[in-house]
Amino acid sequence: MSLLQFLLMILHSIFLEFCTCTDTILPSHPIKDSETIVSNNTNFKLGFFSPEGSKNRYVGILYNVTVQTSIWVANRDKPLNDSSGTVTIMEDGNLVVLDGQQEIVWSSNLTNSLVNSSAQLLDTWNLILKDNSNGRAIWQSFQHPSDSCLQGMRLDPVSNEDDKNLITSWNSPSDASTGSFSFGVDPLNIPQVFVWNDSNPYWRSGPWNGQIFIGIPNMDSLRNNGFHVVPEDNGSLYMTVSFANQSIPTYFVLNSKGCLMQKCWYDGYEDWRVNWTNLENECDVYAKCGAFGICNLLDSPICTCLEGFEPKNITEWSKGNWTSGCERKTQLQCERNNSLVKEGKEDGFLKLTSVKVPDFAERSYVEEANCESRCLSNCSCTAYSYYEGIGCMQWGASLIDIQKFSGSSGADLYVRVAYSDFGIAFHLSNLKKKNMDLVIALTVTIGSITVAIFTYWMAKREGCKKASALLQSLSRGKSSPVYSYQSSPQEKLHQVYIEELPVFEFEKLAKATENFHSMNKLGQGGFGPVYKGKLPDGPDIAVKRLSRSSGQGMAEFMNEVVVISKLQHRNLVRLLGCCVEGEETMLIYEYMPNKSLDALLFDPRNQDFVDWSKRMSIIEGIGRGLLYLHRDSRLRIIHRDLKASNILLDEELNPKISDFGIARIFEGNQDQGNTVRVVGTYGYMAPEYAMEGRFSEKSDVFSFGVLLLEIVSGRRNTSFYQDEHSLSLLWFAWQLWNEEKLLKLVDPKISKSCFQTEILRYIHVGLLCVQEVANDRPAISVVLSMLSNEIKDLPAPTQPAFTGRQASLDTEFPQQSRTRWSVNNVTITALEGR
């Protein structure tokens, strides 16, 4: 061998040793506090770190980005108090963390003695301890997770004996010790995942149907970016995480408040953004309304008892503590004697649409057609549901954790109710089925046909005015109407402003929308779907088809017709007409080709919406529309639901304020209204309205301020919900204001250098709009003057209204029981219910 070859061999060996050590810990190459090892793809690193606000030193795996982000911690429950620690391989082959006195503070705890092992940080962020003699992994961090879950991890169902398959939260953002919240796969019945608070359920995904968890709204859009349940040949299952775009750092983290979040790294921001969170509102908290209660964010209060049930503790219920739940008004017939069954008065089922089905579902292996009869034949069966991919689900006791979704999310649930607790429609239907009173059935049928014909004739003959008046008279008696027609001034307005509104025939609208084909569906609101239509002799239209089952939708229809039928402004959507035929009630608007502002702002596929001039034009257009409503129109109107999804955009991106279903008209010198029924959208509602039911022009200004900050930042106000550092976009903006770092709020797609002064001014005005006290907020006319620089000296804003209420889990639980074992390996006895 030549000298040159010998030197090259030595250099090659040294190079290999160097490369190995960059991602590897060897007995001869421990790492000290100031050192790290980095995965081969440079995405991850392992080393010592201190959380923000703490001096304790932990050993962990971190993302290799500019913001310190730990995803696994070794010595989480035994931190070091100085920088004298080391990570090394012991003589017995264990990976350990040593303090300055060479005492072990953490170990991989392998019992088999090995003398030749090494630890390597893989590109998958998995830290493995391997036997160098055969390369086999003998320990890995994937099997001992901390508070995070990334692609490649496997979570097996939680067992009573071993909690290593749990993701466990930190105790606080500055304390990595094991917190009270944990996340894992529930091993009982149909697969679903839970967040637990100690041993009590805190959030639930709903059952897995083979593709999605059906209790998570809009999970179809997250199907390629989230959790997947994988069945095994032996009948067991496990859960994994996968993300469609693996080039973008993405992970799930369970924070110290019990919020499970999917975070994604944005290079433009040099920060993490929340793509999804399990706790978007109060209704997401487990068993918020107790047994046989249903939570609906659009209702006030948000908790109600199912039909046929009443509050178990009316005193607590009236105070807003709903955890005691509801109980039956009437005992089921099958639980008593069966004499009335022979008379056709047996129990029936109440249908609930688009709900998160209750916990404790039992799968029944029968066809869909037999699901109802199987439940009806078993007196202990309280409800059933059928869902593709799951089959027939039945419940045998209390119904816990039911949530009403907007749109088409969730499933249909059929709840067993005593005959006497059904409404008149059910009883008449039942009578017809049993032919018990043919005369009554025929009378009702003929009467219904007569009313339908009369309604149609009135609509055709005198337009929407009298049809709406008829609907008004038919709808009297419904609880908490959105719009009152009792006072004579309102009645006169109602008569004046709808008499010339065109009436469309149902057949014409059905043809225009291709029989309301799903391909023409533009969106889904709380009151029904909206479809695109094409009139044969006219322009494209948008048709809002009010849900037949929504009493609120009928009130919305009448309110919207009254409010905007005669309002004309370039920044308000134009109502073209209405349709009232039989049970069909529809509103027809001009079609907006660019859909809604939220689709343009928050959909990552819309990359063209980048320049500041477009955003500025939209902000000012919304402001002008609001000024018209408050000051310049024939009526003074408070919108009450100003939000990104209610701002439509025409072909030139001109904004149009839409959806006046819950708007209110102010008369004379009226400057404030009050309501006991708070309706609107969390995140946009002013605090005085959300908490006390008081609304005014200033509550609309608050919503405008939220919109302004969303447009500037490109972020939803609710995308911060229960984040570790910010409760909302408003709080985040306020933090940056105090730190004089407002430019960090700006969407990175905007060229900040050219418009910096203007952008900062807009943010300043936005903060003035969202101040806590209504009187501190400027009127919309003043806001527009501030934006246009007519008012040059702006006052300093006071603290914005951020009411990040942490939903609490009451210690009182419904009747059923679900045992979970302590994350500290301390056995906990079964609780009564949860």
Sign of the alpha-carbon dihedral angle for 79, 85, 89, 91: negative
The better pLDDT of the pair 111, 40 is held by 40
Q: What kind of fold does domain 22-143 have according to CATH? A: Agglutinin, subunit A (2.90.10)
Convert the pLDDT of each residue in 464-502 to its tens digit. 444 444 334 333 333 222 333 333 333 433 443 455 678
pLDDT computed for residue 178 by the predictor: 96
N-to-C CA span, the chain: 77
Least reliable range by pLDDT among 87-101, 402-416, 542-556, 570-584: 542-556
pLDDT computed for residue 782 by the predictor: 95
pLDDT computed for residue 773 by the predictor: 93
When pLDDT is averaged across residues 595-618 and rounded to a whole number, the result is 78
3-state secondary structure 89-150: ECCCCCEEEECCCCCEEEECCCCCCCCCEEEEECCCCCEEEEECCCCEEEEEHHHCCCCEEC
pLDDT computed for residue 84 by the predictor: 96
CB count, 10 Å around CB of 692?
A: 12
Convert the pLDDT of each residue in 94-129 to its tens digit. 999 999 999 999 999 988 766 789 999 999 999 999
Convert the pLDDT of each residue in 184-224 to its tens digit. 998 778 999 999 999 899 999 999 998 899 999 877 655 56
Topology match between the domains 22-143 and 610-787? no
Position 791 confidence tier, pLDDT thresholds 50, 70, 90: confident
DSSP 8-state code for residue 2: -
Q: Which two tokens stand for residue 259?
A: 């919020």
Mean pLDDT, the chain, rounded, equals: 81
Cα dist. 205→183, 278, 403, 772 in Å? Answer: 11, 8, 11, 34
Position 347 confidence tier, pLDDT thresholds 50, 70, 90: confident
Q: Which two tokens stand for residue 592?
A: 């907006």
User: Does the pTM of the predicted model rise above 0.75?
Assistant: no
The secondary structure of 237-261 as a DSSP string is EEEEEEES-TTS-EEEEE-TTS-EE
Say which CATH class 450-590 falls into: alpha beta
Convert the pLDDT of each residue in 426-438 to its tens digit. 444 454 444 445 4
Alpha-carbon span 537 to 534, nearest angstrom: 9
Convert the pLDDT of each residue in 61-83 to its tens digit. 999 999 999 999 999 999 999 99
* Structural Rg of the chain based on CA atoms: 31
pLDDT computed for residue 548 by the predictor: 61
Q: Tell whether the model's pLDDT for residue 712 goes beyond 90.
A: yes
Convert the pLDDT of each residue in 662-695 to its tens digit. 888 887 677 788 876 677 787 899 999 888 889 9
Convert the pLDDT of each residue in 14-27 to its tens digit. 444 444 458 999 99
Proportion of the chain above pLDDT 90, given as a percent = 48
pLDDT computed for residue 55 by the predictor: 96
CB count, 10 Å around CB of 484?
A: 11
pLDDT computed for residue 242 by the predictor: 86
pLDDT computed for residue 346 by the predictor: 79
> What is 148-279's CATH number?
2.90.10
pLDDT computed for residue 815 by the predictor: 44
- Name the most confidently modeled range: 397-406, 583-592, 793-802: 397-406
Q: Tell whether the model's pLDDT for residue 277 goes beyond 80.
A: yes
Phi, psi of 114 (to 5 degrees): -130, 145
Least reliable range by pLDDT among 327-331, 421-425, 492-496: 492-496
Say which CATH class 610-787 falls into: mainly alpha
Q: Write down the domain spans for the chain.
A: 22-143, 148-279, 296-434, 450-590, 610-787
Catalytic residue among 359, 641, 659, 700: 641
Q: Tell whether the model's pLDDT for residue 156 goes beyond 50.
A: yes
pLDDT computed for residue 455 by the predictor: 56
Q: Is 641 a catalytic residue?
A: yes
User: Nearest 5 degrees, angle CA 182-CA 188-CA 190?
Assistant: 105
